[in-house]
A = this chain, B = another copy of it.
């Protein structure tokens, strides 16, 4: 019983060959090794239960076989799905996946970038922490860090709008929001409220723009009193429900576009708590098509983003970049409207004179 794990030296000794030869066999080098020798080494390795030390290997090779995914919160279903996709592809190619919860805090983001540089992470995937504020004090440092990481040869990919410069795959937030709003309009709705995202997160603003554009294109003037502040959380949705409940009856919107599903869930819950009937009293829709969107009552109309697939695509792009192969700098990821029971025609909405 060996207390220490055996090194390649032990394998070489046991096989009666040099370390170089043993290494060539174990590392799957293309270097020629005679079949007999190869066999001996493999047997020795098996008998010793030899496991190569990835740390040493990485140190030597200047690459770690680590891929990190930076998310706001891995317990948020949106990020969880993306991370799952990343891990799938990473694992299939022999990479480990590191999870980094930034809590949308630039300080934490920067701190993680430092650490990932320390570990010589081969790939870093940003998802969903991008803010409009190009003027956050940390931005300069983050940019510098990113550049440094890229110079080292690591690959960076962003899966949502972000101020940094890197290849990206972006869900079509604007298009999805436009289509979804158009759908509401096609149902007859004109007074459509919008629950915003946190502060100046770009994704949320893209959806807001899509919403506005669709209204304008249909000859409806966007009404800013119908903009309710949210923050991508259920709690934010519940607060919006409270505000909605305060509207004078004649000014009430007949539909609400919550800028993500979580918000829509909270909104539905909050409205029902206050005695509203859904969808009779108001149509509601979200964005993201989380697994629960189908399950809630009424089932939620929303915009589908194939999140797991997005994660997979992101990881693939990292791998492609690491192989110095060509890949588009900017890719758009399609979104599609999913029509369900939470949105109904205006004429079926309660309190609407036919």
In the complex, whether A335 has a CB less than 8 A from a CB of chain B is: no
CA of A236 to CA of B118 in the docked complex: distance in angstroms? 44
For the complex formed, measure the closest distance between the CB of A260 and the CB atoms of chain B, giving whole angstroms: 14
Establish whether residues B49 and A53, one from each chain, have CB atoms under 8 Å apart when the complex forms: no
Cα distance A120–B148 in the bound complex, in angstroms: 27
Q: Taking the complex as formed, is A3 at the interface, i.e. its CB lies under 8 A from any CB of chain B?
A: yes
CB distance from A243 to the nearest CB of B (A): 18
Number of identical monomers bound together in the oligomeric complex = 2
A266 located at the interface, meaning its Cβ lies under 8 Å from any Cβ of chain B in the complex = yes
In the complex, which residue of chain B has the Cβ closest to the Cβ of A297? B297
> What secondary structure prevails in chain A residues at the interface with B?
helix
Task: Report Cα–Cα, A233/B266, bound state, in Å.
Answer: 23
Residue among A58, A97, A99, A292 having the largest count of chain B Cβ atoms under 10 Å: A99
Within 135-172 of A, Cβ neighbours of B (below 8 Å) are at 148, 151-152
Q: Are B5 and A148 in contact (CB under 8 A)?
A: yes
Q: How far is the CB of A308 from chain B (nearest CB, A)?
A: 7
Q: Which residue of B lies closest to A119 (CB)?
A: B54
Knowing A53-B59, A55-B120 are in contact, say whether A81-B75 is a contact too (CB < 8 A). yes
Q: In the complex, which residues of chain B have a beta carbon less than 8 angstroms from the beta carbon of A49?
A: 148
A80 CB, min distance to chain B CBs, angstroms: 4
The answer to whether A101 and B80 touch across the interface, beta carbons within 8 angstroms, is: no
Verify B91–A119 contact, CB threshold 8 A.
no
In the assembled complex, 23 residue pairs joining A and B whose CB atoms fall closer than 8 Å, in A order, are A5-B152, A49-B148, A53-B118, A54-B115, A54-B120, A55-B55, A55-B58, A55-B59, A55-B119, A73-B84, A74-B74, A74-B80, A74-B84, A74-B87, A75-B81, A75-B84, A97-B99, A98-B99, A234-B295, A265-B295, A266-B295, A268-B297, A269-B294
Apart from the given pairs A54-B115, A73-B84, A98-B99, 19 other A-B contacts in the complex at a CB distance below 8 Å: A52-B118, A54-B118, A54-B120, A55-B55, A55-B59, A74-B87, A75-B80, A77-B77, A80-B80, A84-B101, A97-B98, A97-B99, A98-B98, A99-B99, A265-B295, A268-B295, A268-B297, A269-B294, A297-B297
